[in-house]
Amino acid sequence: MLLHIDEDTIIELAVLVGGENAGQIMKNLLKKPGITDEELSRLLQVDVRDVRKILHKLNEQGILHYELAREKDTGHRIFRWYVGQEQVTGFIITNMKKILERLEDRLEYERAHQFYWCGTRGCRKLPFEEALDNLFKCPVCGKQVQPIDNEETIKAIESKINEINKYLEQISKAKKVEGVHVKEISKTLKTKK
Ligand SMILES: [Zn+2]
């Protein structure tokens, strides 16, 4: 079950892990669960060795799994690939939590420091200690630095944190609802029979 994580998000995720071809592979895996590396290679016009490399990379991340089968006539081994949908959810949650931790550290840092800036676009904002070390001159352009208000940055980080928290909440709610949903569907199917 995909739990409100749409296919685009999963494809984006694959691109992040393995590049553009990984995105194409993921798209086809979602469309045709159980597709083989050779079929993917033919479909995408990508060398089968490259397809395998990407599949293994995605497998290492726990996003995919495979089933080993044998061709009836030749006994040739075939790998059928599937998107582990529960695993994708887990992967996204883990990564979101990592991002959340990083943002929270950043927020703490922004709140705890006074920043100084020369006003030149592209130059860095310096925390107080660094500004002091540089005698309140910008180490890049040499202009005097002035204290600046970082309230906007703080607000932006806070709103991003809220957004991620809401998303995580939605996913965990969807997980709970999912159980009920599946039962209801199978009940409907039974009554139809
Ligand atoms: Zn500067």
Token digits of residue 128: 């107080």
pLDDT band (50, 70, 90) for residue 87: confident
∠ CA 30-63-93 to the nearest 5 degrees? 110
Instruction: Please work out, in degrees rounded to the nearest 5, the angle formed at the alpha carbon of residue 112 by the alpha carbons of 111 and 116.
Output: 90
Sheet with 64-70, side-by-side order of all strands = 35-36, 77-83, 64-70
Please tell me the total count of domains within the chain: 2
- Expressed in angstroms and rounded, the spacing between residue 141 Cα and the centre of ligand 1 is 4
User: Above 60 in pLDDT, residue 2?
Assistant: no
Q: How far is the CA of 70 from the centre of ligand 1 (A)?
A: 65
Q: Could you tell me if 153 and 79 lie in one domain? A: no
Q: What is the domain range of residue 118?
A: 96-192
At residue 174, the pLDDT reads: 67
Q: Hey, which residues does 115 pair with through a beta bridge?
A: 127, 148
Q: What whole-number percentage of the chain has pLDDT above 90?
A: 54
User: Residue 2 falls within a domain, yes or no?
Assistant: no
Q: What is the pTM of this model?
A: 0.56
- Looking at the domain assignment, is residue 156 inside a domain? yes
**For residue 70, what is the enclosing H or E element?**
strand 64-70
Neighbours of ion ligand 1 (CB under 5 A): 118, 120, 123, 138, 140-141
pLDDT of residue 92: 79
pLDDT tens-digit readout, 30-52: 999 999 999 999 999 999 999 99
141 in any annotated domain: yes
- Mean of pLDDT values over 99-108: 92
The band of 5, judged by pLDDT with boundaries at 50, 70 and 90, is low
Distance 113 CA to ligand 1 centre (A): 19
Q: Are residues 65 and 142 in the same domain?
A: no
Question: From the CA of 160, how far away is ligand 1's center (Å)?
Answer: 28
Which amino acid, one-letter code, is at 9?
A: T
| Structure letter (DSSP) for residue 72 | T
Distance of CA 116 from the midpoint of ligand 1 (Å): 10
Q: Band of the pLDDT at 106, cuts 50, 70, 90?
A: very high
Indicate if 55 and 142 belong to the same structural domain.
Answer: no
Q: Which residues contact 108 (CB under 8 A, 6 or more apart)?
A: none
Token pair 């980080």 in the structure block, residue: 157
> What percentage of the chain has pLDDT greater than the value 70?
87
More confident residue, 129 or 62: 129
Tens of pLDDT, residue by residue over 130-177, are: 999 999 999 999 999 999 998 988 999 999 899 889 888 877 776 665
List Cα–Cα distances, 37 to 72, 77, 81, 140, in angstroms: 18, 11, 8, 51
